[in-house]
Chains A and B, each alone.
Chain A
Amino acid sequence: MAEKKALTGNEAVALAMKQIEPDVVAAYPITPQTDIVQYFSNYVADGKVKTEFVTVESEHSAMSATVGAAAGGARAMTATSSQGLALMWEVVYIAASSRLPIVMPVVNRALSGPINIHCDHGDTMGARDSGWIQLYSESVQEAYDNLIQAVRIAEHPDLQLPVMVCQDGFITSHGLENAEILDDETVKRFVGEYKPRFSLLNPAKPVTFGALDLQDYYFEHKRSQSEAMKNAGKVILQVAEEFKKLTGREYGYFEKYMLDDAEVAVVALNSTAGTAKMVVDELRQAGSKVGLLKPRVFRPFPAKELAETLRGLKVVAVMDRADSFNAYGGPLFNEIRSAMYDTPGPKILSYIYGLGGRDIGPADVTKVYDDLLEIKKTGRCDSILNYLGVRE
């Protein structure tokens, strides 16, 4: 039976981890992910999980031990944020290329320097080409739901790819929200028992992980990794469909909010989408045809589906909570604009906002919609790359 509970994003994720009950968790605490490790430590101390919990000395070792555990045939998880993900960086790539179905909640936080503990997406955007599937979560509910689905996605035999489940540091991770929580049995049934194809711990069939791969094979291995990512889209939708049957909650590549008849729209990840929905409601009441597109799946990038959805619009603003320092536009913007290249479609602008936890309020989002409506009216656009909410 499902029940409603007031939970923070970190509590919800830790609870989902408890319900999934992985064989091994190897993790290191880092703000604002710390609660996840602490809550999980309590589950371990109270004997509520059978998980072997490895309290590693760094995030580099967290990912390394998780790779070792997954290669040992265990369902293995870790969690991180910001500098922690940056420190894992090297092994994050190895996890993906070793085709290990690791699931990792990431609480998004700005990267140093300067040091900052608050939310932006610089950390996971930096890892966007590491071969991990990336799911983004607007709310506590979505962080919880995505984590449970992530296990099934990662372990799908056509994929065998690691998954990051992202939520916004402090905003979602520490904000209390009502969420519908499944009972332990339902979660266990949904994720099922993990049956690894290869394990270091089968004496009848020894395996090698991490061999030296030279010019004659490396390229083929990377190509097959790419093919697995291509397969991921279909699997993500299949798992979402099953999850919908279980909970009634619908998940796809992205969520469309008042988009079908919209003329201008904003694209935004994670919690900002919640703020934008409120602004859309207000502007709609005032008679403006505005909408929102909230991507859930950033890797694999659902280019075709996004292009089809956005093609009828006049002007679109892609909001990035990360700068890519290419002096051209944010990472999400670049991918969306590239996806739209073959489609006669809207003018697309880049808005970089909220770095280092700079607050993004309804007034900021309203300003973006105002800009879009003005451009639609006049056809004049001064700047493709815009910085929102910064003192200049």
Chain B
Amino acid sequence: MATLKELVKKPGILSPGHRLCAGCTAPTLVRQVLMAVDTPVVIGNATGCLEVSTTIFPQTAWRCSWIHNAFENAAATASGVEAAYKSLKRQGKIKDEFRFITFGGDGGTYDIGLQSLSGAMERGHHMLYVCYDNGAYMNTGIQRSSATPRGADTTTSPAGEKVPGKPANRKDLTAIMAAHNIPYVAQVSPSHWNDVVTKVKKALDCGGAAFINAIAPCHRGWRYPIEDGIEMARLAVDTCYWPLFEVVNGEWKLTYKPREKKPLVEFLKPQGRFKHLFAPENEHIIKEMQEQVDRNWEALLKRCGEA
């Protein structure tokens, strides 16, 4: 494992000067992912914050080949690029060793892009799909997605007089991807850079389709102080809201176990989107959310042979 000092000396593939919000954790995460790459790489990007902010014509913040097609088809598009690579390599028209990484937000991955992602994973293209999950359609004004946690106040699941935020639980996309029986699936957080780089290396070298789900706090949508993004990601991990694990060829393994499992309120409290849950009539929701996190955590520990 390279040290952080060594890693930051690598010329970054994502350059400064992009137009993502100050304090956004997506570019931090993207830089961590790309630190694991030692070959030429083609980046695919679903429509979303990362895409619109980094490639406003005639400029680009990417020091590599990059393709955006539409919102829901990033995985299918990458399948095509990878197929072109396979074909041209077989014919001797390409000599370089390429890697293929696709980034999509939770909207383009959990929701509208799920079919295309599922298809690409099932077909086993040699590519890594990274979902940066900020828990809503942040780019278009913080509308709920199927990754939005229960109770969150968004512009399409607003906390109103009758309905206290999003009524439904979030979808467990990482488990859905693991159910595709692909060689590598993992969950990461930019608060644990070493874990990110290690997992991306494994994913890129797994020889087939790989999926990594990354939590990517968004201060616009979550409503916490701009500078606390990485801290929020760390709280998500330490409260076991966002556990870090990997599934290698079907084997589940916990890669980080918090020394002390913090209560979920520590993750919820600093976020404006959960403010209404602290009203007396809504406190039961926090209790139920905590129970859900506990159940998920226990099930994960069992799956990983830790309980």
Interface residues of A (CB under 8 A from B): 23-24, 26, 50-52, 54-58, 60-61, 64-74, 76, 90-91, 94, 200-203, 206-214, 217
Contacts of A64 on B, CB cut-off 8 Å?
69-70, 73, 76-77, 79-80, 116
Contacts of B85 on A, CB cut-off 8 Å?
72, 201
A74 touches B62 (CB 8 A): no
Given contacts A56-B119, A214-B57, is CB(A74)–CB(B83) below 8 Å? Answer: yes
> Nearest residue in A to B116 (C-beta to C-beta)?
A61
> Nearest residue in A to B84 (C-beta to C-beta)?
A72
Mind listing 8 A-B residue pairs with CB under 8 Å? A26-B79, A58-B116, A58-B119, A61-B115, A65-B77, A94-B69, A209-B69, A210-B55
Contacts of A91 on B, CB cut-off 8 Å?
69-70, 73
Interface residues of B (CB under 8 A from A): 40, 42, 44, 51-52, 55-58, 60, 62-70, 72-73, 76-88, 90-91, 94, 96, 98, 115-116, 118-120, 122-123
Contacts of A52 on B, CB cut-off 8 Å?
83-84, 86-87, 90
Given contacts A201-B42, A201-B98, A213-B57, is CB(A68)–CB(B69) below 8 Å? Answer: yes
A214 touches B56 (CB 8 A): yes
Given contacts A54-B79, A74-B83, A212-B56, is CB(A206)–CB(B119) below 8 Å? Answer: no
> Nearest residue in A to B120 (C-beta to C-beta)?
A61
CA distance in complex: A90, B73 (Å): 10
A57 touches B115 (CB 8 A): yes
Query: In the complex, which of the residues B57, B65, B94, B119 contacts A207, with contact meaning CB atoms closer than 8 Å?
Result: B65
Contacts of B120 on A, CB cut-off 8 Å?
61
Smallest beta-carbon distance B124→chain A, Å: 11
Contacts of B91 on A, CB cut-off 8 Å?
23, 50
A65 touches B42 (CB 8 A): no
Interface centre among B60, B64, B119, B123 (most CB of A within 10 A): B119
CA distance in complex: A70, B63 (Å): 21
Known: A52-B87, A57-B118, A206-B64. 12 other contacts (CB 8 A): A50-B90, A60-B76, A67-B77, A71-B84, A91-B73, A201-B96, A203-B98, A208-B60, A208-B66, A208-B67, A210-B68, A211-B56
A212 touches B123 (CB 8 A): no
Contacts of A76 on B, CB cut-off 8 Å?
80, 84
Smallest beta-carbon distance B55→chain A, Å: 4
Smallest beta-carbon distance A216→chain B, Å: 8
Given contacts A55-B123, A57-B115, A90-B70, is CB(A208)–CB(B83) below 8 Å? Answer: no
Interface centre among A60, A65, A76, A206 (most CB of B within 10 A): A65
Contacts of B82 on A, CB cut-off 8 Å?
68
CA distance in complex: A55, B80 (Å): 11
CA distance in complex: A91, B119 (Å): 17
A65 touches B68 (CB 8 A): no
Contacts of A209 on B, CB cut-off 8 Å?
66-69
CA distance in complex: A207, B57 (Å): 12
> Nearest residue in B to A28 (C-beta to C-beta)?
B119
> Nearest residue in B to A216 (C-beta to C-beta)?
B57
Smallest beta-carbon distance B163→chain A, Å: 33
A72 touches B81 (CB 8 A): yes
Interface centre among A50, A64, A73 (most CB of B within 10 A): A64
B84 touches A203 (CB 8 A): no
Given contacts A52-B86, A217-B58, is CB(A68)–CB(B67) below 8 Å? Answer: yes
Query: In the complex, which of the residues B57, B69, B78, B84 contacts A201, with contact meaning CB atoms closer than 8 Å?
Result: B84
B88 touches A201 (CB 8 A): yes
Query: In the complex, which of the residues B62, B72, B78 contacts A68, with contact meaning CB atoms closer than 8 Å?
Result: B78
Contacts of B78 on A, CB cut-off 8 Å?
68
Query: In the complex, which of the residues A65, A94, A212 contacts B79, with contact meaning CB atoms closer than 8 Å?
Result: A65
CA distance in complex: A70, B80 (Å): 8
CA distance in complex: A316, B121 (Å): 54
Contacts of A208 on B, CB cut-off 8 Å?
55, 60, 62, 65-67
Smallest beta-carbon distance A203→chain B, Å: 4
CA distance in complex: A68, B102 (Å): 12
B51 touches A68 (CB 8 A): no
CA distance in complex: A67, B77 (Å): 7
CA distance in complex: A213, B68 (Å): 12
Given contacts A65-B76, A68-B80, A201-B94, is CB(A23)–CB(B70) below 8 Å? Answer: no
CA distance in complex: A222, B66 (Å): 21
CA distance in complex: A82, B57 (Å): 34
> Nearest residue in B to A221 (C-beta to C-beta)?
B57
Smallest beta-carbon distance B35→chain A, Å: 18
CA distance in complex: A33, B26 (Å): 42
Smallest beta-carbon distance A43→chain B, Å: 14
> Nearest residue in A to B63 (C-beta to C-beta)?
A206
Given contacts A64-B69, A209-B66, is CB(A57)–CB(B84) below 8 Å? Answer: no
Query: In the complex, which of the residues B55, B65, B119 contacts A57, with contact meaning CB atoms closer than 8 Å?
Result: B119
- Which 8 pairs across A and B sit closest by C-beta, in order of nearness? A68-B80, A72-B84, A57-B119, A65-B80, A210-B68, A61-B76, A74-B84, A64-B73
CA distance in complex: A217, B115 (Å): 32
CA distance in complex: A114, B120 (Å): 31
B122 touches A57 (CB 8 A): yes
Contacts of B42 on A, CB cut-off 8 Å?
72, 200-201
A54 touches B68 (CB 8 A): no
Contacts of A90 on B, CB cut-off 8 Å?
70
